[in-house]
Each structure stands twice: as C-alpha cells, then as structure tokens.
Amino acid sequence: MKAPFKQGQDNKKVLTADETASGRLDTWLAAGLEGEFSRSRIKSLIEGGNLTVNGSVVDGAHRKIRPGDVVEIALPEPEDPEPQGENIPLDILYEDDDVIVINKPAGLVVHPGAGNWTGTLVNALIHHCGDSLSGIGGVKRPGIVHRLDKDTTGVMIVAKNDLAHRSLSAQFADHGQTTELARAYKAIVWGRPAQIRGTIDLPLGRSMSDRTKRAVKREGAVDADHAVTHFEVLERFHERPDATALASLVECHLETGRTHQIRVHMAHIGHPLIGDAQYGGGYRTKANLLTEEAKAVVNRFPRQALHAFMLQFEHPSTGEVMHFEAPLPADMAELAEVLKSV
C-alpha cells in the first residue's frame, strides 16, 4: 500500500508507515513517493545521512520498514552552478540604462537549467552587461522577465536594473489589459484554419501522459491555466480548388502567456506548427505531398516554425511606448518561399 506523506518544515518530507508496510525501506519509499524519487536517489539520500526512521539516522537502504514507523527525509538544497559570463554574440535591437532588447536566435536557451548550464542567453547577458543586470530574477535568471522556447526566435526584452524589472514584470503579468504591452508571433502551420481570423480560448496545463508537454484542459480543472490566443491567416501555401491549403502563415497575438501556448493551441485545432516534433509529429507525412525540393526543406527544418516578430511595452523609466519588430529569420523565410513555389 502506498505510504501517506506530508510536506514538513525546512524542506522535509515526513511519511508514516501504515499497517501493511513491510520489506526494504528504499523499496517502500519508492512506491510511497509515487516515482518522485528513484531508488538510486533514495539510496544517495540515505548514504548522505538525510533520512531518519523514528528519529534515528538510517545507516543503509537494507533496513526493513515496519508498521507505525515515522520516516523523515531532509532534502538538501540544490547546488546548481552560478552562471558565468560567456562571449556569445547578441543581436541587439535597442539598449539603454534600463533595458536591452534582443532578437533571439534559434537554439539559444534563455536561462541555465538541467542540461544547459552554459551557453545560454543569461551567460551572454552577464558578459555583455556585467554587474548592471537586475537581481530580482535571482542568480540563475538575472534580468529575465519573460522567455522564449529554445527553438523559438524573435524579440525579447531584458531588465538591466531592479526598477525596470519590477515595471516590466508587472506589464507581462497584466498581459496588456491595462498597459500597452503587446506580443505577436508568426508561425507556419500545416493546413489552413477554417477561419481567416479566430480566437482560441482553451485552458492549458501539464500533460498527464508526458510531464514535459502541455495540453488543453477541461474548464475548471485544478491544474488549468486560462489561455487565449488570437490568430489571423496571412498567407496560404499550395491552395487547392476545395479551398484547403497544405500550409499557412499565421499571425498570433497572445492575450495570455502560457508555456507552449501557441504550439498547443494551434495543434489542438488541427494546425500544428511545421517542424514541431513535440506537438505535430503526426503531420510530418504531409511533406510527401510536396515537390522533392520543398519536401527536402521541410524535412530538414530543425525546429518549430515560430517567430516572436513583435514586442511592444512601456519604457519603465519614461513611460514611452516602445515598439520593436524583427523580420522572419532566414530558415523560416526559406521555408515560406519554398512553400509558395509548390
């Protein structure tokens, strides 16, 4: 039977063995924590002296569990490396004492994390800005007030001091409802949406089948976040007599800013982004309908075809409305051109 547990103080977990508890402690813990910790992780916690049973430090994973035992796990604080400055080129659209606006390339992770402790935008910003970056975002995310996926390109703004960070964070949290904040993206999607213009108002949350993905949730679900995407079809590629199209260039405006929002919303209505293996892998066979040249371009396209082409905000010091746009990157421009020629 799975072990009940509660979150204790000071980053601790406390579990109490019920009347059915038996067997090895590490096996019982792995089952009781429902996969939160692996057997190897539990073993390392035991070896590090981070686990007690009835107040006594456990000296080995072989210890047996008995009904009524109280198990306490002290979770050590993570010791992630502090990011260092790296001389990574930045495409700077604007910079002053308060903000820096960049055109992020594909493949650049915004901030350090598991598997990407170096080579990120934060590393580049530390090198470029030195000590002027805002500290509100913490050591790992100095100056970061919003983010783009690793393989999404386009306009991003970074705060260079705490005043700017507070102002911009408030604007992004407001989603432009009472401020001039606006964000717009261009995406190349499979097919042609039935409407030239439309709104997708569907809540999003973590996928139950894959925790790295997001999914549309039912209204009112505990883990559902309100998400609204407005879209407009700008161009149709390989349009057919039956008013369908093989692909389309769409413009998306965000009313909210959820993780993977455009990618999940467009996939949900049957028009996933070209190149999006995570949400549109099942549509790759559509490339077989193209010419060999176009098929080759589509098949080698390495990422979701998504570009944050416009960002507008109120300057944190002057209040001036600032508007920035970045043209389609070369890979998306090539993709659009080859689809036009089909």
Same domain, 63 and 116: no
pLDDT level of residue 35 (50, 70, 90 thresholds)? low
User: pTM of the entire structure?
Assistant: 0.75
Shared domain for 136 and 62, answered yes or no, is no
Residues 153 and 63 in one domain: no
Strands 153-159 and 306-314: parallel
Residue 49 lies in a domain: yes
- 163 and 265 fall within a common domain: yes
Q: Flag whether 80 is in a domain.
A: no
Q: Indicate whether 48 and 161 sit together in one domain.
A: no
Secondary-structure percent of the chain, ordered helix, strand, coil, rounded to 5: 25, 30, 45
168-208 pLDDT, tens digit each: 999 998 887 888 999 999 999 999 998 999 999 999 998 88
| Phi, psi angle pair for 92, to nearest 5° | -90, 120
C-alpha 173/C-alpha 28 separation (Å) is: 42
Assess whether pLDDT exceeds 60 at residue 210: yes
Q: What is the average per-residue pLDDT within 51-73?
A: 87
Q: What is the pLDDT of residue 95?
A: 97
- CA 106 – CA 272 distance, rounded (Å): 18
The answer on 156 and 63 residing in a single domain is no
* Same domain? 105 vs 213: yes
Residues near 226 by beta carbon (within 8 Å), at least 6 away in sequence: 203, 256
Sort strands 99-104 and 92-95 into parallel, antiparallel or unpaired: antiparallel
Q: Which band of pLDDT confidence, cut at 50, 70 and 90, is reported for residue 241?
A: low
* CATH code for the domain of 286: 3.30.2350.10
Q: Which of 26, 69, 98, 149 is catalytic?
A: 149
Whether 143 maps to a domain, the answer reads yes
In a domain, 86, yes or no: no
- Write out the residue range of the structural domain in which residue 62 sits: 5-74
Residues 248 and 214 in one domain: yes
Side chain identity at residue 309, one-letter code: F
Both 12 and 137 in one domain: the answer is no
Q: How many domains does the chain have?
A: 2
210 is catalytic: no
On whether both 26 and 66 belong to a single domain, the answer is yes
Residue 125 lies in a domain: yes
